[in-house]
Every structure is written in C-alpha cells, then in structure tokens.
C-alpha cells in the first residue's frame, strides 16, 4: 500500500456492529465481560480502547512499524521512553531540540539518576566519544527544533547498533510523509501528534512507534502502568486529520520552499535556516533521507535586534504568534521567550539560537497571501 492509501485506510475497519465507515468514538471507560476474563479484547480503556487501537495501527503502518502507542501528549510519549531506563543509565541527545524535551530530561529525569549528554550530531562520529558501558539510548531530533539541523539517521543507527544502544528519533518536524526513521535503522519513533499528524491545532497527543515486539510490550506496559493515555475523542480527530496528511504535507513543502526563497533574498533578513538550501550544512543528508524539506523555517534579522524581531511578529496577520506548529494555519514563534525558554540562554547561544530568531510554521494558505504578509511585516 502506498502512503496516501495507508493514511486513509491502514488500521481502519468498518465498525463491526454497524458497518460505520468512520471508526466510532468509543467513549467508554470499561467493557462488560460474560464471565471473568471472557471479553471481546477490551477490559478497561487505560489498557485499550477501539478508537485508540485504530489510530495506533494507522500510525504503525505510516511509519513502517508494527506497533503504535498513543499518549496524552508528545512529552508523555517521551516520558515513557525514558522510563525504559534505570538510575545510572546515560542518554546521548542532540543539543538542539524542543525546549520541553530538554526540560523533562534535565529537570525531571536527572533527579532519578539518569545522565544526559547534549551534543552536536552534525558529524555522527562525534557520538562515539560519549558512549560508555552505561549508555542506553541515543535521542535524535531531525530536523531539529528550532535550528533546522539535519542528523544522518543511518550513520547514527550504525553507531547505536555497534554499541547495542537504543536509537529514538523524534520525527515530529518531518512526519512519516517525509521520512521513515525505522527504515533507516532507528528503534523508536516519537511524535508530537499535536503537530502535523493532528494537523488542525485542536489536539494535544503523542505517539511512539516501534517494530520490535519485546520493545512494544515494554512500552505498552509503561503506557498502561503510568496511564498517560489519550481519550477516544482526540483519537477520532487525529484519525480524521491523518486522512489528508499527504496532501497537507505537499502544500506545506511547496509553501515552505516559497517562503524560504523569499526570505533569503530579503534585504532585512540575515540568516535563513531551512534544509532545502544547497548551502545548508547537511543538505545532502536531508536530500537523501527526506522526500522533501518540510514547512518549518527559522530566520534572523540583520542587526540581530530582539525588539525588531518582536515588531515583525506583532505585525503579522496570517502568521499567528503562537507556540506549536504543523497546523493548516501559519504560525510564528519566538523560541527564546516561548518554546525554548526552559533552555538556559548560555546553552541556547551555543547552538546559534539567538534572541532575534523567529521560527515559522508555514501553513497551507494561499502562498501569495503569505508572501504579502511577510512583505508588510518585514517592510
């Protein structure tokens, strides 16, 4: 089955009791048993729910995995992955990543005795310097949030396999439409479903996808034991959103390219971070491991003036100033005060995340209107 067909059909069966083509919202906490232990596959909705099941199967198919698991948010999904580890274990993570991921690693899990190394992975070989007998997990975001760095998943997977360490990839920015890390050697895919997969800025949800039964069982045990599950209404909305993922992503990519090309020529713009430029340091890896370059772009203004960046963002009409990304509507974000405020300024500056950086999530509106909006806001 090709991607667009999977997005619409995978994991979705007509409802067995009525034939409804849309998976119903099974708004129930529990399921009646004929005799203790004699049930129809569902016992209690923390452990399993038919609407969630359909979504989990659909996600597994899109990522070329075998098992999907949905959580109450992207961070709840990340939380479940780190709960595979024990005190004393070490994690090597990209140093450019979503601020909330940095926060859960450093402010929550360091307290439980897990050590995190945040490193540049532009050269995958750099990772080996940090591997020791305690290393259990490599955490990769690619493209990274917000600097749009590209990490070579295949090269990192070679290292993780050699040292028998798990490799998790946060695939939120790319989505399975653009990149399928399990095919490149990753063990775990993580998604903030809140973003492109939901696609309509109306749901908070996370997911993990794997293709190993033992790992799936361990994560399902954590999902059920810790209970950070998502409700059936939200699963329904995401199932509906995913049906147009391939069409939306095509337009996000087209619009993203047009916006990046406009910004790079603008006299007031200094740097534009977008992996589609041949001048991007890892453009060739992006071209190899991604099917297109996505709709996320970061840029700075000449003079690097935070107040001028604020003025531009205040003037936008169609780029709404808001956290999040990946919805049909365009959003602008100021990472230093919004999504990445929990990363200390010193650490932010090490990766080039300056106080004047603006991040755009280019939506699927008419491109002429978006360019006009940029024109008036920058002008």
Residues that bind ligand P1T (CB under 6 A): 73-75, 98, 100-101, 141, 145, 170, 172, 192, 194, 204, 206, 323-325, 333, 339
In the complex, least distance from residue 42 CB atom to ligand P1T, rounded to whole angstroms = 26
E strands, the chain, in order: 67-71, 90-94, 115-119, 135-141, 166-170, 188-192, 206-210, 269-273, 296-301, 320-321, 331-333, 358-361
d(CA 169, CA 191): 9
Cβ nearer to ligand P1T, comparing 79 with 187: 79
Closest listed residue to residue 197, CA positions, set 146, 258, 238:
238
Cβ nearer to ligand P1T, comparing 12 with 219: 219
> Which two three-digit tokens encode residue 57?
């199967």
For residue 360, give Cα distances in angstroms to 287, 289, 329, 365: 21, 22, 11, 14
> Which two three-digit tokens encode residue 163?
């040292």
Cβ nearer to ligand P1T, comparing 324 with 342: 324
Q: Which residue is nearest to ligand P1T (CB)?
A: 74
Cβ nearer to ligand P1T, comparing 333 with 356: 333
The residue from 6, 83, 136, 195 that is catalytic is 195
> Which two three-digit tokens encode residue 377?
């806001």
The residue from 79, 152, 170, 373 that is catalytic is 170
Orientation of helix 74-82 relative to helix 213-226, angle to 10°: 110
In the complex, least distance from residue 69 CB atom to ligand P1T, rounded to whole angstroms = 14
> Cβ(145)–Cβ(333) under 8 Å?
no
- Secondary structure class of 369 (helix, strand, coil): helix
The residue from 26, 98, 102, 196 that is catalytic is 98
The residue from 15, 31, 46, 350 that is catalytic is 46
In the complex, least distance from residue 105 CB atom to ligand P1T, rounded to whole angstroms = 12
Q: What is the arrangement of strands in the sheet containing 166-170, beginning at the earlier edge strand?
A: 67-71, 206-210, 188-192, 166-170, 135-141, 90-94, 115-119
Cβ nearer to ligand P1T, comparing 70 with 325: 325
In the complex, least distance from residue 333 CB atom to ligand P1T, rounded to whole angstroms = 6
d(CA 276, CA 301): 20
In the complex, least distance from residue 352 CB atom to ligand P1T, rounded to whole angstroms = 17
Cβ nearer to ligand P1T, comparing 65 with 100: 100
For residue 274, give Cα distances in angstroms to 253, 255, 301, 304: 11, 12, 15, 18
In the complex, least distance from residue 89 CB atom to ligand P1T, rounded to whole angstroms = 21
Task: Based on the residue annotation, tell me whether 240 is a catalytic residue of this protein.
Answer: no
Residues with Cβ within 8 Å of residue 230, at least 6 apart in sequence: 52, 70, 71, 72, 205, 206
Orientation of helix 245-265 relative to helix 367-378, angle to 10°: 30
Task: Based on the residue annotation, tell me whether 196 is a catalytic residue of this protein.
Answer: no
For the CA atoms of 10, 65, 50, 82, the dihedral, rounded to the nearest 10 degrees, stands at: -150
In the complex, least distance from residue 265 CB atom to ligand P1T, rounded to whole angstroms = 27
d(CA 311, CA 39): 60
Cβ nearer to ligand P1T, comparing 24 with 120: 120
Q: Which residues are catalytic?
A: 46, 98, 170, 195
């Amino acid at each position: 089955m090709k991607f667009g067909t999977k997005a619409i059909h995978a994991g979705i069966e007509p409802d067995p009791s009525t034939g409804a083509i849309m998976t119903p919202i099974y708004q129930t906490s529990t399921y009646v048993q004929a005799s203790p232990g004699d049930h129809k596959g569902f016992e209690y909705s923390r452990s399993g729910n038919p609407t969630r099941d359909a979504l989990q199967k659909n996600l597994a198919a899109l990522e070329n995995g075998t098992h999907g698991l949905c959580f109450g948010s992207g961070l709840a999904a990340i939380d479940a992955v780190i709960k595979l580890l024990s005190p004393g274990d070490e994690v090597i993570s990209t140093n450019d990543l979503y601020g909330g991921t940095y926060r859960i690693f450093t402010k929550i899990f360091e307290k439980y005795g897990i050590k995190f190394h945040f490193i540049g992975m532009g050269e995958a070989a750099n990772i080996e310097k940090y591997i020791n007998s305690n290393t259990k997990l490599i955490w990769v975001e690619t493209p990274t949030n917000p600097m749009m760095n590209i990490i070579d998943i295949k090269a990192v997977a070679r290292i993780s396999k050699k040292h028998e360490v798990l490799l998790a990839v946060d695939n939120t920015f790319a989505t399975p439409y653009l990149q399928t890390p399990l095919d490149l050697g990753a063990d775990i895919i993580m998604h903030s479903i809140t973003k492109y997969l939901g696609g309509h800025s109306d749901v908070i949800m996370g997911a993990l996808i794997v293709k190993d039964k033992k790992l799936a069982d361990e994560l399902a045990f954590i999902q059920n034991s810790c209970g950070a599950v998502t409700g059936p209404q939200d699963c329904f909305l995401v199932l509906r959103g995913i049906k147009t993922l391939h069409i939306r992503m095509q337009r996000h990519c087209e619009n993203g390219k047009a916006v990046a090309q406009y910004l790079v020529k603008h006299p007031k713009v200094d740097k534009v971070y977008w992996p589609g430029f041949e001048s991007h340091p890892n453009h060739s890896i992006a071209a190899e491991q991604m099917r297109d370059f996505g709709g996320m772009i970061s840029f700075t203004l000449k003079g690097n003036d935070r107040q001028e960046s604020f003025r531009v963002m205040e003037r936008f009409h169609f780029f709404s100033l808001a956290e999040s990304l990946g919805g049909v509507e365009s959003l602008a974000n100021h990472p230093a005060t919004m999504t990445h405020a929990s990363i200390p300024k010193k650490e932010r500056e090490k990766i080039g995340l300056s106080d004047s950086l603006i991040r755009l999530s280019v939506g699927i509106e008419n491109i002429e209107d978006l360019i006009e909006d940029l024109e008036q806001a920058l002008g």
